[in-house]
Structure 1
Amino acid sequence: MQNQNSLPLWNKNFLNVCLSSFFIFTNFYLLTATLPIYVKNDLKSSATEISLVISLYILGTVLLRPFSGLWADKFGKRKMSLLFLTLFIICNLAYFGTTSIVPLLIVRFINGFGFAVSTTSTSALAMDWIPIKRKGEGIGYFGLFMSLAMVIGPALGLYLTNNFDYTIVLTVASLFAILSMLFSYFSNEKIDHTQIQSEKPEEYNGIYKYIEAKSLPVSFSGFLLAFAYSSMLSYIGLYCIELGFPEAAILFFITLALLIIIPRPIIGKLLDKRGPNALIFPGIFLFIFGLVLLSQANTVSIVILSASIIGLGYGAIFPAYQTLSISAASQKRAGTASATFFLLYDIGVGGGSFIFGLTSDSLGFRTTYVIAAGITLLSLITYILLVKPFRKKLK
């Protein structure tokens, strides 16, 4: 077996896993950004029902996320990825038959199951193929594909929604789900048995079979970041419609992508050389400033400027949090650590989507984005109070 340190970073398996992750997250972000518009305009649903379209999906994800890491570690990351990507594809095809809110909510809920296990397995599988000495850089590049999806998905979805029937949106989303399956099929699984055998055997009982305790502190900080981020992910399209320039939502996501993607190679190397503090502190402050600026937007230019600032901040924070979460655990618990991080991240996105759906309806979007900025500040506070002291104990 090839030593993990002798691997080139861009080996075939790592690239296949990155592409699989890209397409499933593109599907997720495409539908997350466009379904609220479809549900409001085509199904004539209420603000609560719009929130449920996002939140029930996340609820389905959250319910299986704790098991997904255990299953990936026990039965194989690739096997679990392929099995639940099949479920994911079936649910995407089922969207074509949902023309009322109740069937749509049921399919969304089940679709979350497939998303939970496949994304956990894919993230853990990527760790198999990253050279140990380039872990921060590798995770950064893996996250780059997720960041690309985070922008291409909503931008493409909003473009298709504005110019075509929603059936076209669902067709493109289903195609992305199938591509994710194909790239996952052509990836392999590798375990460093030498390292695993050298580790002391550990027994995990109760909830700790499914949750990696060492990853919880930073995962909670990630939860708060995701809660704040959901205010943009789910509602930027409706916010820009309210401001009178719906086309700005597409420009927002494109700008967000560029400012996450362009600095990513530097950010990955900086994470390996300088540590997470060099990214998290400036990243949080940029993210907060961008949200406050977005809350005061009255022109397309301000919306785009806020996207660039938020993109710089998010692009620094997310890979640092994710790397800390996975690095806190042993290699044989990589799947469980990944599941723990994304479990709390999913709860943040789902809870934020639901709460911000209600606050935007009652208080308006401007107030919603100020609240999101305050929650981002809480993410930094929890990092200072919980994560930094915990990391010192692990050393």
Structure 2
Amino acid sequence: MRETSLWNKNFLLICFSSFFVFMTFYILAVTLPTFVLESLHGSQKGIGLVTTVFVIAAVIFRPLAGKWLNELDNRKIMNVSLILFAVCSALYLIVHGFAPLLVLRVIHGAAFGVAATTTSAIAIKLIPEKRKGEGIGYFTLFMSLAMVFGPFLGLTIITHFSFPVLFIMCLIFSALSLACGLLLQIPGEPEPKKSGAASSWHWSNFIETKAIPISISGFMLAFSYGAISTFISVYAKSLGMEPFASYFFIVFAALILISRPFTGRLFDRRGEHVLVYPGLLFFVVGMIWLSQADSTFAFLAAGGVIGLGYGALLPSFQAVAIKSAPIQRSGLATSTYFVFFDAGYGVGSYVLGVVAAMTSYGTMYFVGAMVVAFTTLLYYALHHRRQGKEQAGETSA
């Protein structure tokens, strides 16, 4: 039973710890632009910088986290990063200038990069080998729910209350994440690996090369998704549907929630391809439908179709990245995947924002759909075809 049991205290604790980290992340992602403009009297350029420095810091520290996970006590790394994450969340209450905010965002981004990587890596260790797809699916579901409720809660608070109330809420979520981390136990965790000084800083201790092919597909998915999380409220306003912007994410999450029990089991029983290709199709169709939305129904329905696609793709890509590497390098595989994913999110938010400024939001979402359509070719060339060749080689041998 112990080998196949998924739902237990430790798995729930790591899921909720990750959930509260991402709640804080998404609350700040959608509300800090308004904070910069209204409270700090910053510029539009400043809004982009506040997001960019956070993502850059997270991307830099994810590979470091992967290295530390291979060499140090995983639980200690997680809890130190969660303490720093909570301290940073508290400091927003006393920030009254743009320069101090940028410094805080760099430190907060570093703490986020380490915390998000370690919680994912620990979750993977707690999932039975025969239920990897299902377990990672449920773990990423908590991240997806944060992606929905975070923006909804953040926008509601700044509409009806104030920024100090918002930052106190972020501090509460950060403290809850830390509490879950402190209660967590990792049964049978192996002794940390001792690395020699000469090899300690070799590039292979920071990047898992076997995870790079699928991580490129993750980059492209995040590239297009950045346009949804960053611009959907502005797009809804341009369509005269501003009151329904938050409901877009509710529908998006509902379809992920409904489909997740089936997608995880399908992955474990029939492999990733049966999920990835339909997921890509749903995502592309949903993005095209969103780009042409001319009614509330079309706007919300497109969110549901995109949710079906995203819900199948995100855990599948992550599971493939982890399965591509030896078990002792699963932490590095996780960090490698999210380095690409975070970079795609940051680059996509900027590039597609430029596309929207030069054309329209509808055109931006259509371009995002074409990017994901191209991802189908990348996935086939970099993973599916190569996997087939490896299996054929094993059979002939």
Whether the TM-score (by the shorter chain) exceeds 0.5 is yes
Matched, 1:78 2:72: no
1:101 matches 2:98: yes
1:13 is aligned to 10
Residue among 182, 187, 191 paired with 2:184: 187
Distance 1:214 1:42, change over 3 A: same
Q: Deviation at 1:334?
A: 1.0
Deviation at 1:246, TM superposition (A): 2.2
Q: Which residue of 2 is the match for residue 256 of structure 1?
A: 252
AA in 1 matched with 2:233: G
Name the residue aligned to 1:320. Answer: 316
Aligned 1:214-233 pairs, distance under 5 A: 214-233=210-229
* Bigger mean CA deviation after superposition, 212-221 or 150-159: 150-159
1:87-144 CA-to-partner distances (Å, cap 9, x unmatched) read 1112111222233433222211221100011111111111121111111111111111
Residue aligning to 1:114: 111
Match of 1:56 among 30, 53, 57: 53
SS in 2 for 1:9: coil
C-alpha displacement of 1:212: 0.5
CA distance 1:53–1:193, shift in 2 (3 Å): closer
CA distance in 2, matches of 1:244, 1:314: 26
Partner in structure 1 of residue 166 of structure 2? 169
CA RMSD across the alignment: 2.1
Q: Distance in 2 between matches of 1:272 and 1:355?
A: 36
Q: Which residues of structure 2 form unaligned runs of 5+?
A: 194-198, 392-397
After superposition, the Cα gap between the structure-2 partners of 1:143 and 1:205, relative to the gap in structure 1 and judged at 3 Å, is same
Aligned to 2:64: 67
Residues 66 and 211 in structure 1, CA contact (< 8 A), matched pair in contact too: yes
Q: Aligned letter for 1:338?
A: T
Question: Are 1:36 and 1:50, in contact at CA under 8 Å, matched by a contact in 2?
Answer: yes
In the TM superposition, 1:233-244 aligns within 5 A as 233-244=229-240
Instruction: Give the distance between the partners of 2:79 and 2:166, measured in 1 at CA.
Output: 24
Greater alpha carbon shift after TM alignment, 150-159 vs 224-233: 150-159
Please tell me the residue identity of whatever aligns with 2:269: K
* Aligned residue number for residue 385 of structure 1: 381
How many angstroms apart in 1 are the aligned matches of 2:33 and 2:299? 20
Deviates most, 352-361 or 288-297:
352-361
Structure-1 residue corresponding to 2:141: 144
Number of the residue aligned with 1:277: 273
Separation of aligned partners in 2, 1:222 and 1:124 = 17
Pair 1:302–1:330, CA change in 2 (3 A): same
The SS at the match of 2:207 is coil
Aligned partners of 1:247, 1:350: CA distance in 2, in Å? 27
Cα distance, 1:295 vs. partner?
Answer: 1.6
- CA deviations on 1:250-295 (whole Å, 9 max, x unpaired) are 1011111101111100110011111111111111111111112212
Distance 1:102 1:248 in 2: 35
Q: Distance in 1 between matches of 2:183 and 2:355?
A: 44
In structure 1, C-alpha distance between the alignment counterparts of 2:58 and 2:233, rounded to whole Å: 24
Structure 2 CA distance, aligned partners of 1:99 and 1:361? Answer: 30
* Structure 2 residue aligned with 1:338: 334
Aligned match of 1:160: 157
Q: Could you say if the C-alpha distance between residues 157 and 41 of structure 1 is closer, same or farther in structure 2, counting changes exceeding 3 Å?
A: same
Structure 2 equivalent of residue 329 of structure 1: 325
- Of 95-104 and 213-222, more deviation after overlay is shown by 95-104
Instruction: Provide the residue aligned with 1:25 in structure 2.
Output: 22
Task: Compute the displacement of 1:40 (Å).
Answer: 4.1
Q: Could you tell me whether the CA contact under 8 Å between 1:50 and 1:357 is conserved in 2?
A: no
Residue 192 (structure 1) shift: 6.5
Residues 1:41 and 1:394: Cα distance change in structure 2 (over 3 Å): farther
Alignment check: 8 A CA contact 1:47 1:357 kept? no
Q: Hey, what does 2:88 align to over in structure 1?
A: 91
* CA distance in structure 2 between the aligned counterparts of 1:340 and 1:152, rounded to whole angstroms: 27
Change (3 A) 1:183 1:394: farther
Contact 1:259/1:312 (8 A) holds in 2: yes
Cα distance in 1, alignment partners of residues 190 and 96 from structure 2: 50
Cα distance per residue 1:307-360 (max 9 Å; x no partner): 101000100111110100011111111111100011110101111122233333
Contact 1:55-1:353 at 8 Å conserved across structures: no
Tell me the equivalent position of 1:369: 365
The count of corresponding residues between Structure 1 and Structure 2 is: 385
